Chain A
């Protein structure tokens, strides 16, 4: 009978990671430069380009039919517009018919036009996005500027999201609303002009190297590809995104628990190896002390939810806004760490470690990773193909070291004595079982499906 090999340790491999910004910016490294995990590879101070919805009918204070709108809106989907370019123009009937014009509030590309609702969606050009946006509420709501205070639904200093109601005023039938065109903070309410100024959150984005290694390739305006020579370990579940630090092992065995009392201020900035278990108190204290990461055999699901501040339901993690990254190597609950891994980590104490808690249990399985840096790759060294997240299927043979995955032996280690026999379990099902000798000398029968090979 075959079972799956789970935890993977790939020693002395060349790892490569693309390190790129989401928006264009400045690349701060050069090719073949040596980098540390905290080296900033690229930076941008650009305001992310928001999609803008321009309500043509509201701005014209008119209601047009789709046919009229088609004539009035002079731009087409895919066209590039500059700030103040005319988007729509309509002349009212009559000899002296007034001409009403709507101009683009931003520079960008028109993505969508609704002729029914008279809306134009412009994808703002991030490179030219203005840090402040003025919203003329009085005009939008057709009220006197000085009275705008009566209709405001926000105050100076409020943080607003795109689409939030800024003000509402009675119109012919019900209320008319003015919405925030962008996300940001209300900088000023100008009662003289009836407008508000929204300061957009300029998010200076940086991308760090994450790995201690060498820049192998540059990606113009966006970043670089960094590679390192390292030992690579896949865990089973993690929390938190990329992190790094110096490896410390404050416990003395893979079966030990990391307690809050064992943590000291010297652990700040480090990645700690916690043995079999770390409780919520220890994890919170670690986060409070500035510990960057915890590598642990197991932790309680409830504690991880409390630490993350969210429910963990569908086995997708890594997006939590945590300063501490947790990588579990064995499973949930108290789980003695694999001895080979513990020995490897203990032997690596003092090394720089990068880790990433991102996990996806299904659909393109992603497991959390631990990278123990061993040295610099040569310029141009190609990356070593890494094992997949799901390990290969291997045969259970006598002497194979296995981890037991279900009760009543959950988390225990042993060696296979024999395998491939059919036996009836307490649940009355007949399945292939293996006889396993546990570390304490007991011999137990376990369904082969409940074994992991190491």
Chain B
């Protein structure tokens, strides 16, 4: 850490409902989180000035820390001195629904999907995807584009030497819709054209007068190649120059932040990428919100992000039931419940989302819904985190019987080594093992996987800080933001009940043997390994069982402890609960007890 690093850092995240401010200070050579404060966001009427909420949050921070952050004129006090001011201010924003984009391409599963990936990766909310092979009528597509009022339109289509007619037609749809921006009154909507370069002139011709056209390199220059970065960079630039500059109060926020305000999900994505780079492994981060669930991943060096709208733990809770089905939720309950009661409970939570579970029964119900919301969102994420479609594959006669389609999912159960969870249902789970088990059951990673919790949802703040000081962001993340839950050893196989799957030996750094245990089919086993402790685990699977390195291959790896410790998961992948509900309930009780996930006395009552 150099002396040139900022000593006092203030970071804010302007969310749709709340504005959160955090203060980071260098103490004894290390940057630590001092405290955080929250205030309602004031971007909507009647206040319509985001700075009111930001200043309120800062005033609350001042009250808690005693450090004066605002001067007499309400300006940010800079630079820092012992009792006042800050050296660096960074901010993210998702207020007003975040960055809303419409995406258009020629073929839904090819260029339009690439464009969708670029927009999602840039932290946008993709309001709709329009393509030539869209099942909707032309009129409907145009009407939809008109209704959306997107902040930015991303237009893609065609490979660089391909035909221009289809991409030109998509440009004509956009022109016909004459989209108007959400902010900025009579201004033109920015359109980023990231398609066939030969079509640029025509696109300029069609859209030039109606929209603010920005040309960037083709998102799909060839069928075999996807080039998302130029489009993503353009999205950020335009977000700052066109969208943020017109939002109420943002010009002042931009001035405070040195003209950089990032979309919140983009900052989170940077943090996930940073983690993946530091670990050199696949990382998945999930944020289970009230209305939506965000999933971020870095696998095989590629970054993906998806937002599952209408899958969440409050307003969208009833929709989880609709999409997953009542049986899927009920299977996670260690007691019997009528479908009718489940639906009523679920719908009541939907209309009164701020209520809390008072009994263990209701807590278990919320956790059952969370598992399904996460499972569905992760499934949605996997459907987008895949290789390119339309890529020509050269096959020989030997491949005739083992042909795989292009566009296979890149996330494999053994390809993820770190899972980070956040969102109320995980962060506020009364016991950490509950959050651990929800993540393990819903995502079902295999091999050796570490689980962490972003307990205060600081990833946006640290993500934007990482853009200027990655080492500080990484340090604060591990010291103050993340809560290590533990590590799971989960063989990839479909075991029989009681089947011996692998031998696990855990040695501390000093060579002391901590445990020598078996992974047994259908069972969970928890071994204490405290947070901050590291140990070497040696997993020797039996023939045919894979713990990440291939069937039967031994794995030797350093693992990190946490509040839960090391968990040996012999339940197999995919994790199937027995169709016999009584048997499934007994198994759930056994698993919950193995992880000490719920209060034993109350859990025993449910069993009785």
Which A residues are within 8 Å of any B CB, using their own CB?
4, 51, 53, 66, 77, 111-117, 119, 121, 162-163, 236-237, 298, 300-302, 311-315, 331-333, 361-362, 405-408, 410, 425-429, 431, 446-447, 449-450, 452
Contacts and interface: CB of A to CB of B under 8 A. Distances in A.
Contacts of B161: none
Interface residues of B, number: 49
B348 interface: yes
B359 A116 contact: no
A412 to B, nearest CB: 13
Given A314-B315, A427-B359, A410 B340 contact: no
Given A114-B172, A300-B340, A427-B363, A406 B358 contact: yes
A429 B137 contact: no
Given A311-B322, A407-B358, 13 more contacts: A112-B138, A112-B142, A237-B347, A302-B340, A302-B343, A312-B347, A313-B318, A361-B351, A405-B348, A406-B357, A428-B430, A447-B355, A449-B354
A53 B139 CA distance: 8
Interface of B: 137-139, 142, 165-166, 168-169, 172-173, 175-176, 202, 291, 310, 315-316, 318-319, 321-323, 339-341, 343-348, 350-352, 354-363, 428, 430-431, 599, 602
Nearest to A333: B344
Given A121-B139, A333-B348, A429-B428, A302 B339 contact: yes
Contact of B142 (A117, A121, A163, A362): A121
B172 A112 contact: yes
Nearest to B360: A426
| Central interface residue in B176, B347, B358, B359, by most chain A CB within 10 Å | B358
Contacts of A236: 351
Contacts of B351: 236-237, 315, 331-332, 361
B599 A313 contact: no
B357 A427 contact: yes
A429 B347 contact: no
Nearest to B132: A117
Nearest to A367: B351
A77 B316 CA distance: 42
A365 B345 CA distance: 20
B535 to A, nearest CB: 29
Given A311-B322, A315-B315, A405-B352, A332 B359 contact: no
Contacts of B430: 427-429
Given A114-B172, A116-B168, A361-B315, A431 B356 contact: yes
Given A112-B176, A331-B352, A121 B343 contact: no
21 contacts: A53-B137, A66-B168, A111-B176, A112-B142, A113-B176, A114-B169, A163-B137, A237-B347, A300-B340, A313-B310, A314-B318, A331-B351, A331-B352, A332-B344, A333-B345, A407-B345, A427-B362, A428-B431, A447-B355, A449-B354, A452-B352
B358 A427 contact: yes
Contacts, number: 146
A277 to B, nearest CB: 11
Contacts of B322: 311-313
Contacts of A410: 348
Given A121-B176, A428-B599, A361 B139 contact: no
A410 B142 CA distance: 47
A441 to B, nearest CB: 20
Given A66-B202, A314-B316, A121 B138 contact: yes
Contacts of B202: 66
A301 B358 CA distance: 22
A435 to B, nearest CB: 14
Contact of B358 (A53, A300, A302, A450): A450
Contacts of A407: 345, 358-359, 361-362
A24 to B, nearest CB: 20
Nearest to A305: B343
A419 B203 CA distance: 65
Contacts of B321: 313
A111 B322 CA distance: 39
Nearest to B343: A301
Contact of A361 (B165, B172, B350, B361): B350
Contacts of A4: 354
Contacts of A315: 315, 318, 350-351
A425 B168 CA distance: 62
- Which 5 residue pairs are nearest across A and B when measured between Cβ atoms? A112-B176, A313-B319, A313-B322, A333-B344, A301-B343
A425 B142 CA distance: 53
A121 B142 CA distance: 10
Contacts of B316: 313-314
A314 B343 contact: no
Contacts of A66: 165, 168, 202
A386 B112 CA distance: 46
A301 B355 contact: no
Contact of B602 (A115, A331, A426, A449): A426
| Central interface residue in B202, B344, B357, B599, by most chain A CB within 10 Å | B344
Contacts of A313: 310, 316, 318-319, 321-323
A106 to B, nearest CB: 14
B359 A426 contact: yes
B219 to A, nearest CB: 20
Given A302-B343, A426-B599, A446 B358 contact: yes
Nearest to A112: B176
A300 B347 CA distance: 9
B355 A449 contact: yes
Nearest to A236: B351
B347 A332 contact: yes
A312 B318 contact: yes
A60 B291 CA distance: 51
A51 B139 contact: yes
A405 B176 CA distance: 50
A425 B346 CA distance: 21
A450 B310 contact: no
Contacts of A452: 352
A119 to B, nearest CB: 7
Contacts of B428: 429
B202 to A, nearest CB: 7
A435 B363 CA distance: 21
A119 B138 contact: yes
Nearest to B352: A405
B356 A406 contact: yes
B307 to A, nearest CB: 15
A109 B321 CA distance: 45
Nearest to B202: A66
A298 B348 CA distance: 10
Contacts of B165: 66, 116-117
A364 to B, nearest CB: 10
A76 to B, nearest CB: 12
B324 to A, nearest CB: 11
A413 to B, nearest CB: 16
Contact of B347 (A53, A113, A301, A408): A301
A405 B355 contact: yes
Contacts of A77: 176
A429 to B, nearest CB: 5
A311 B310 CA distance: 14
| Central interface residue in B348, B355, B359, by most chain A CB within 10 Å | B348
Nearest to A444: B358
Contacts of A449: 354-356
A310 B530 CA distance: 50
Nearest to A315: B350
Contact of B362 (A112, A162, A237, A406): A406
A114 B177 CA distance: 12
Given A115-B172, A314-B315, A408 B138 contact: no
A190 to B, nearest CB: 26
Contacts of B359: 407-408, 425-427
Contacts of B346: 301
| Central interface residue in B315, B321, B339, B350, by most chain A CB within 10 Å | B350
A428 B596 CA distance: 13
